[in-house]
Structure 1
Amino acid sequence: MARNRFDIDENLESPFDIKHFRRAMIYIRRQKKPMIVAFLLSALSAAIALSAPLILQHVVDVTIPEKAVGPLFGWSALMLATIVVSVVLATIRSRIMTRVGQDIIFEIRSDLFKHLQQLPFKYYDDRPQGKILIRVVNYVNSVSDVLSNGIINFILEMLNLIFIAAFMFAVDVRLSLITLAGLPVFLGIMLMIKTRQRRAWQAVSNKSSNLNAYLQESISGIGVTQIFSREKRNEGIFTRLAANFRKEWMRALRFNALIPFSVDNLATIVSALIFLVGLLALGPGEATFGVILAMSSYAARFWQPILNLSNLYNSFINAVAYLERIFETLDEPVTVSDVPNAKELPPVKGHVRFDDVTFAYDPGHNILEHLSFDVKAGESIALVGPTGAGKTTVVNLISRFYNLTGGQILVDGHDISQMTLKSLRSQMGIMLQDSFIFSGTIMDNIRYGRLDATEEEVIAAAKTVCADEFIREFEQGYQTEVNERGSKLSQGQRQLISFARTLLADPRILILDEATSSIDAKTERLLQQGLNELLKGRTSFIIAHRLSTVKNCDRIMYVSDKGIAESGSHDELIARRGLYYRLYTAQKMEA
């Protein structure tokens, strides 16, 4: 799929329409009360500010000609008061809307994170992590101001236009019509660039997503980059992606800059026409100098809301590109979820049965076909075979990380597709080859899957998997802080901590996917002693390439050709001299 590449733009699966904006209004309505207060403060501030030109007109036409010094000071004090009150009200409103904007960010981001945690593995298989992260962080930041201040400012600027137009027509109708004459020109410009401007900001969104995806991938793989001396090559790729982003950004800004440029020039032309018509065309006695000054002031004020509205329009066009991405993520279907009326899986004994199971990651390319086998409670099953044969797929299906293409998987006779995910997975312990360590203490990492575990239980689990000794060698012991992904730990230490985390959950069904691949032979022998005790009474599925680690399993299944090619104990398969025998013999010769 194109969207799993950092150098290919993502195509929107659904274009923006008014429904998206209605959905955004859900977050706005939750902040209704503070937004109403902010709106009233803004309206009051604007109304007070609009009285200033009338005061100026009266002072120029009446107070100054009459040389009334006392009233002049009074009118000056009143004008100063309008400015002070207007600024104070605007400041209060700004503080309210800052809080509203942050609350909107919090709610959208929380909804996104909640949804991302529910999405199936398939979603993450198809996308770079960077393209997901940018939606939760950057895009949400970009739309917050439009969804908070933008709505109020739009209403206020529209009201400002109405108020200013009313004041203008009250002062002089003919000069007011001159002010309005520039509107058709401005609207024509807006209509002309609307579609191209939106596409330009969609392109910016694409290039930003690509850049972020490559940056995240490069940071995660910095070790491999340095091992193979790929720094210069990677710099070239990053430079190309950054240059593409800069190119699209500058192109989008040209459309944005065209609007204030048009407004400024139209406002200047209109102001000049007011003076020209007022002083020359109307003639003496037709319009006083105070009227002309008031009208030029109102004309400037009239075009200011239009400029503000055009800036809001720019912000809205930018935000639309981000809203599309945000809602596309929120609309991503949770394909692996609890079915309607899903039941709680009761405490399990561990009987697992595959009944004619077929599975494909992508339609038409089956990984498993008509797979059937039965595992009794307490049995230990080893899955072996060539890379890519489907061993990990089998255990992923038991945990229901993917939906089946066909057939059923039953645990203690219960179809797992009809059980709640939480009740199923809470009774399983899964140890993957990629041992992920979270930032925090070693104690926190082991306790991750069972938060109510005591320190004694955590330490007991660590001792069982032979992790206690190396943990106590750290100065802070179990309280040692580790970085994201456990960069301070060796791969073997990370696996042992993950082992302890899995075993602490005390699962009835245990899945070990190459769980000992990074552990040295001595530690593995010690670990095996603890595991043999732990596996008693539990159903276990063990994937291993080192066949010496699975010789003692109750049954070994050789996965090949979309199914189970051979099945039996180690001795039975050796005696059969088939696929397992050849694989085991080859490993012994290599050793």
Structure 2
Amino acid sequence: MSDTESKTATRVPARPPMGRGPWAGAGMPVEKSMNFGPSAKRLAKRLAPEWLPLVLVTVLAVISVSLTVIGPRILGDATNLIFEGAISANLPAGATQEQIVAGLRASGQNQQADMLANMSLDPGSGIDFAALSRVLLLVLAIYALAFLFAWIQALVLNGVVQRTMYRLRADVESKVNRLPLSYFDRMPRGELLSRVTNDIDNVSQTLQQTLSQVLVSLLSVIGVLVMMFSISPLLACIALITIPLTVFITSVIAKRSQKKFVAQWAHTGELNAQIEEMYTGHAIVKVFGRSREVGKRFSDKNAELYEASFGAQFISGIIMPSMMFVGNLVYVAIAVVGGLQVATGALSLGSVQAFIQYSRQFTQPLTQLGSMANLLQSGVASAERVFELFDADEQLPDPDAPASPPAHSGRLVFEDVSFSYSPDKPLIRNLDLVAEPGHTIAIVGPTGAGKTTLVNLILRFYELDGGRITLDGVDVARMTRLDLRSRVGMVLQDTWLFGGTIRDNIAYGRPDATEEEILGAARATYVDRFVHSLPDGYDTVLDDEASNVSAGEKQLLTIARAFLAHPSVLILDEATSSVDTRTEVLVQKAMSTLRKDRTSFVIAHRLSTIRDADVILVMEEGRIVEQGNHDALLAQGGAYYNLYNAQFAAPVSDEA
């Protein structure tokens, strides 16, 4: 990716992670003014690596257009052969052309005499079909060659566009991997997907349709102008009236359509985001009876997209009819003036016929250039949205000389750690914590206390505001993210499985694992128990939503995946929330075995599941207010005591 598309990575304050409920993301900004010129230049720079094929495309286009432009002039010669042969057949045989012209002048028919004087006549001979055949065969050969070169040009250009889009998609994928988690917290998934799919596809279609057409149209205008001036400067000047009219009409209409196209693609992204949210939260929408509100919100957004799309297409669609109208006016003017010149003998009929063809060839590329304006506006609007993704601030780069802990004991130390999602709302302040190898640290506290944030800081999903975190004596900020995260296994409350076999999903934790190691992890986490009840066992293919296994079974699979990775630090964020009580007991036993010699962080709301933890941290508003084991904290009668007993307290009645 070019330097212009990668800003210096700086950390920006991010919003805390938010749930993607049915109404998340409403009220997002719709659009900003589009800067067409710089965005178009930036898109053009994307083609720089293809300069050599583009030179070849230009050469092929020049040859193809030149052959196409020569055709009407030669066809004009064929017209002259037919016209002059027809007149010669009606003239007396034996007389010369000079005698016939002199006779006409003597009888006062000077106009006819002037017309015949500029022809090549053979009185009494008729049409020379042999010469006519040679001319027509020459024209056929010229047009065949023009088609061949145009086809080769289209083939080469298609490769240019597809390779450019291949690199663009690769750069987008690379950029997404360098973005911090805070970016995804702010960006609705549907909006991001729209940028990396719909907008890139639109850019691809724009380049495919406009590059060749613009090049051919410009070359055609130049070539046709040369031929027209060689035939008749007067008629060529009349045809030139088209250019300022075309530029004026196109510029006026294009300015009005720019914002419409920006709004069109912005609304498309927002609508995609809304549809994605509605799809993932479909059950919740139905349960709470909010289908009508959701439908209305969809209808409103769909109407906004309709209005923007209609306005963009309607305004830009005026260009071609306007160009055709101007072209028709010029065509009429050329036909009238050309006819008068033929009558006076200033031009031959074949020359006028060729010029009329050139006038059509002249106005047609101008019309096509005008019609390309709406495609360019739409494509550049999409490109700008992709470039906004490129310009997003990246996560801090890995250090040039990274450090790596020599041991894999998993000793984690928080030293005066401070962090906040927003500068004006401090969350974690001056936190100190030591997690010894082999210990299980449970983190409890009310919602929003900072439990998940704490483990996210271990993985460097966010950068610290102050202090440091060390793993086996090495500051995690001095490690590469790949090295750090390869030492940490994480199981979340929200399960994620990809479309593939159960075996492949387990092996995702360590792709080089042997079959026996995969089966061992499955047995340790009791995945093996339910797999054998499936028709294809470990070869059972899960669909994209893993709907062919239960929620508890999905959770067990994610636990097996983490265990197979053999991390030195294990993070379990409500990992047993979807597991039934009996399976939870079995999983807890498996965890006890696998936590041996590993540092484990367990976030739990059911306090009964972390009674055996070596250390329990009680967090409130980003601070550790209590720490100790289960019995010691109960004996203190403080925050943990209140949390623990709240699980068994009966609801308070408001009735007197």
Listed one character per residue, the Cα deviations across residues 352-383 of structure 1 (whole Å, up to 9, x for unaligned) are 11112111112211221121122222221100
User: Which of 573, 580, 602 does residue 513 from structure 1 map onto?
Assistant: 573
| Structure-2 separation of matches of 1:561 and 1:56 | 86
Matches of 2:474 and 2:429, distance apart in 1: 21
> 3-state DSSP class of the match of 1:30?
helix
SS of corresponding position for 2:426: strand
Counterpart check, 1:212 vs 2:272: yes
Does 2:201 match 1:141?
yes
Contact 1:150 1:312 in 2 (8 A): yes
Work out whether 1:423 is the aligned partner of 2:443. no
SS at 1:31's partner residue? helix
Matched, 1:391 2:451: yes
Contact 1:337 1:421 in 2 (8 A): no
Q: Do 1:35 and 1:152's aligned partners in 2 also have CA atoms closer than 8 Å?
A: no
CA distance in 2, matches of 1:264, 1:9: 39
Q: Corresponding residue for 1:575?
A: 635
Q: CA deviation at 1:339?
A: 3.6
Q: Which sits farther off after the overlay, 172-181 or 580-589?
A: 580-589
| Counterpart AA for 1:520 | D
Further displaced range: 304-313 or 417-426: 304-313
Instruction: Report what 1:71 is aligned to.
Output: 131
Contact 2:242 2:363 survives alignment (8 Å): no
Matches within 5 A, 1:170-209: 170-209=230-269
Match of 2:47, SS? helix
The 1-side partners of 2:612 and 2:344 are apart by 111
Determine helix, strand or coil for the equivalent of 2:446. coil
Matched with 2:47 is 28
1:371 aligns with 2:431: yes
Written as runs of structure 1 = structure 2, the 5 A alignment for 1:333-344 is: 333-344=393-404
Structure 2 gaps, min length 5: 1-14, 86-126, 652-656
Paired position in structure 2 for 1:244 = 304
Q: What is the CA–CA distance in structure 2 between the aligned matches of 1:506 and 1:18, rounded to whole Å? A: 53
Residue identity in the other structure for 2:228? M
Q: CA deviation at 1:534?
A: 1.0
- How far 1:395 sits from its partner (Å)? 0.7
Letter in 2 for 1:510: L
The equivalent of 1:8 in structure 2 is 28
Q: Which amino acid aligns with 2:431?
A: L
The corresponding residue for 1:124 is: 184
Q: Which moved more, 1:60-69 or 1:322-331?
A: 60-69
Distance 1:480 1:52 in 2: 65
How far apart are residue 340 of structure 1 and its match? Answer: 4.1
Matched, 1:46 2:46: no
Structure 1 residue 459 displacement after superposition: 1.1
Q: Report the more deviating stretch, 99-108 or 137-146.
A: 99-108
**TM-score after normalising by structure 2:** 0.86
**1:85 and 2:145 matched:** yes
**Comparing 443-452 and 359-368, the one that deviates more:** 359-368
- Equivalent in the alignment of 1:318: 378
Partners of 2:235 and 2:192 in 1: CA distance: 55
* CA deviation after TM superposition for structure 1 residue 236, in Å: 2.6
> Could you tell me which residue of structure 2 aligns to residue 501 of structure 1?
561
Q: In structure 2, which of residues 498, 504, 522 is the aligned counterpart of residue 444 of structure 1? A: 504
| Cα distance per residue 1:395-451 (max 9 Å; x no partner) | 111111101122211222222112111111100011111111111111111111210
Which one is further off, 154-163 or 466-475?
A: 154-163
CA distance in 2 between partners of 1:251 and 1:585 (Å): 62
Q: Is the 8 A contact 2:250 2:373 kept in 1?
A: no
Q: Distance in 1 between matches of 2:481 and 2:228?
A: 67
Residue 154 of structure 1 pairs with residue 223 of structure 2: no
**CA distance in structure 2 between the partners assigned to 1:482 and 1:140 by the alignment:** 30
Q: Which amino acid aligns with 1:50?
A: V
SS of aligned partner of 1:353: strand
Letter in 2 for 1:453: A
Distance in 2 between residues matched to 1:265 and 1:535, nearest whole Å: 80
Distance 1:52 1:535 in 2: 83
Q: Secondary structure at the match of 1:486?
A: coil
Q: CA deviation at 1:262?
A: 1.6
Larger radius of gyration: 2
Mark the runs of 5 or more structure 1 residues left unpaired by the alignment: none
* Per-residue deviation, 1:254: 1.9
Distance, in Å, in 2 between the alignment partners of 1:460 and 1:213 is: 41
The match for 2:388 among 321, 328, 337 is 328
Q: Which amino acid in structure 2 is aligned with residue 178 of structure 1? A: I
Shift of 1:342: 3.3
- Whether the aligned pair in 1 keeps the contact of 2:442 and 2:604 (CA below 8 Å) is yes
AA partner of residue 500 (structure 2)? G
Residue from 31, 35, 57 that aligns with 2:76? 57
Work out the CA distance in 2 between the residues paired with 1:467 and 1:289: 89
Q: Per-residue deviation at 1:281?
A: 7.5
Q: Counterpart of 1:485 in 2: which secondary structure?
A: coil
What is the letter of the counterpart of residue 250 of structure 2? Answer: M
Q: CA deviation at 1:283?
A: 5.3
| Aligned-partner Cα distance in 2 for 1:129–1:267 | 48
Q: CA deviation at 1:589?
A: 4.4
Q: Which residue of 1 aligns with 2:619?
A: 559
Q: Judging changes above 3 Å, is the alpha-carbon distance between structure 1 residues 344 and 333 closer, same or farther for their aligned structure 2 residues?
A: farther
Say whether residues 1:541 and 2:601 are aligned partners: yes
Report the Cα offset of residue 152 of structure 1: 4.2
Displacement, 1:198? 1.3
Match of 2:645 among 558, 567, 585: 585
Name the CA distance, whole Å, in 2 between partners of 1:345 and 1:25: 46
Do the aligned partners of 2:342 and 2:348 also contact (CA within 8 Å) in 1?
no
**2: CA distance between counterparts of 1:318 and 1:362?**
36
d(CA) in 1 for partners of 2:207 and 2:387?
A: 14
Q: Distance in 1 between matches of 2:599 and 2:484?
A: 14
Deviates more, 1:421-430 or 1:279-288: 279-288
The SS at the match of 1:356 is strand
Deviation larger for 457-466 or 230-239: 230-239
Comparing 495-504 with 369-378, greater Cα deviation is found at 369-378
Whether 2:544 is the aligned partner of 1:488: answer no
What is the 5 A alignment of 1:524-535? 524-535=584-595
> 2:225 and 2:359 mapped to 1: Cα distance?
9
Aligned equivalents of 1:259, 1:346: Cα separation in 2 = 68
Contact 1:353 1:410 in 2 (8 A): yes
**Offset, 1:22:** 4.3
In the superposition, relative to structure 1, how do residues 331 and 339 fare at CA in structure 2: closer, same or farther (>3 Å)? farther
Q: How does 1:345-384 map onto structure 2 within 5 Å? A: 345-384=405-444
Letter in 1 for 2:490: I
Per-residue Cα deviation, 1:281-307 (whole angstroms, up to 9, x for no partner): 885223332222221111110111212
The amino acid across from 2:315 in the alignment is: F
- Read off the aligned partner of 2:518 and give its amino acid letter: V
> 2-side partners of 1:263 and 1:138: how far apart?
30
Deviation at 1:457, TM superposition (A): 0.6
Q: Deviations over 1:318-368 (max 9, x none)?
A: 111111111110121212441443333444322211112111112211221
Residue 532 (structure 1) shift:
0.9
CA distance in 2, matches of 1:7, 1:76: 66
Q: What code does the residue aligned with 1:326 have?
A: V
What is the total number of aligned residue pairs between the two structures? Answer: 590
Paired residue secondary structure (1:357) = strand
CA contact (8 A) 1:352 1:376 kept: yes
Q: Measure, in 2, the Cα distance between the counterparts of 1:253 and 1:498.
A: 48
Shift of 1:576: 0.6
**Taking CA–CA contacts closer than 8 Å with sequence separation of 6 or more, which of the two structures ends up with the larger relative contact order?**
2
Matched residues in 2 for 1:528 and 1:144: separation? 52
Cα distance in 1 for residues equivalent to 2:389 and 2:378: 18
